Amino acid sequence: MKQNKRNVARKLAIHFFIFSLLLSTVGIGTVVASSSTVSIDPASQSVSAGDTFTVDVAVDPAGYGVSSGEINIAFDATVMQADSIESGDLLGVSPLVGVKEIDNVAGTIKYALARVGTTTLPTPPGAFATATFTVKSDAPIGTYDIDITTVGLADESFEDIPGITINDGVVKVIMLEGDINGDCVVDYKDLGILGATYGKSAGDADYDSRADINDDDTVDYKDLGILGAHYGESCTA
């Protein structure tokens, strides 16, 4: 009998030990939740002068709910201009726009959004916003930063989510506009390639898409005009 009681007591103790171990594991899991991240996505992409490209401001809330946020982006306004910034899927279908300021002189974007309705936990990772840029036609070859200078995200109780990690991005201008063969100079060789496929459209025999500088799937006087405007330029000039 005594032996039995002791066994029961031991079993209870073991159960209690396992139970408290589980509790503490849950507790630890909550405390060391990894930090939320806000990233320029893609982190790096290559474009030519004159190209239009987009970047997402991607958010991984890492378990938090996100009810609203504001981002500030900095870019090199001498090399590119920001065409637009639109909301992504992070804060629901039609979030309220609080602030939307694009400054193509200073090279900054300020954008604030809020979810309509309540925020349920956790908010899945998604795009806070998508920004569209156009590289200037005279942009020099180089690597240019697209930085998230500040970011604030509010949780489901409208309190700041702490310790957000920011991942900036870059865009690499790898080709001069009009440099059809990519040899860092716009010259007669590019003109020759354009001439060989002049008047052709995508799908035609002998169509060379490299000569379609304005990306309208036809090589014509418009592409010739762009080449002419940059004729003689080189990467070091």
In the complex, the smallest distance separating the C-beta of residue 180 from Ca ion, rounded to whole angstroms, is 6
Nearer Cβ to Ca ion, position 149 or 201? 201
One character per residue 159-188, x = contact with Ca ion (rule: CB under 5 A): --------------------x-x-x-----
Handedness of CA 169, 183, 213, 105 (dihedral sign): positive
Let me know: does 146 contact 168? Beta carbons within 8 Å.
yes
Query: Which bin fits 206, alpha (ψ -120 to 50), beta or left (φ > 0)?
Result: left
The residue whose two tokens read 């942009």 is 139
Q: Which region, judged by CB under 5 A, interacts with Ca ion, from 77-85, 91-99, 149-157, 222-230?
A: 222-230
Beta carbon nearer to Ca ion, 60 or 212? 212
The β-bridge partners of 201 are: 218
- Determine, following the binding rule CB under 5 A, whether residue 214 of this chain makes contact with Ca ion: yes
Of 75-83, 97-105, 120-128, 190-198, which part binds Ca ion (CB under 5 A)? 190-198
Give the residue with the Cβ less far from Ca ion, 183 or 208.
183
Tell the smallest beta-carbon distance from residue 50 to Ca ion (Å): 12
Query: Which amino acid makes up residue 26?
Result: V
In the complex, minimum distance from the CB of residue 205 to Ca ion, in angstroms, rounded to a whole number: 17
Stretch that binds Ca ion, among 14-22, 59-67, 74-82, 218-226 (CB under 5 A): 218-226
Q: How far is CA 97 from CA 5, 13, 39, 178, in A?
A: 67, 56, 20, 39
| Nearest residue (CB) to Ca ion, 39 versus 197 | 197
Dihedral sign computed on CA atoms, order 27, 28, 31, 33 = negative
Which residues lie closer than 8 Å to 123 by C-beta, 6 or more apart?
61, 64, 65, 66, 90
Nearest distance from C-beta of residue 79 to Ca ion, angstroms: 20
Which of 177, 223 has the CB closer to Ca ion? 223
Q: How many residues bind Ca ion (CB under 5 A)?
A: 9
Nearer to Ca ion, 56 or 223 (CB): 223
> Using the rule CB under 5 A, is 216 a contact of Ca ion?
yes
Beta-strand relationship, 165-167 and 108-114? unpaired
Residue 228 to residues 138, 179, 187, Cα–Cα distance (Å): 13, 11, 9
Is 223 among the residues that bind Ca ion (CB under 5 A)?
yes
**Interface with Ca ion by CB under 5 A: which residues?**
179, 181, 183, 190, 212, 214, 216, 218, 223
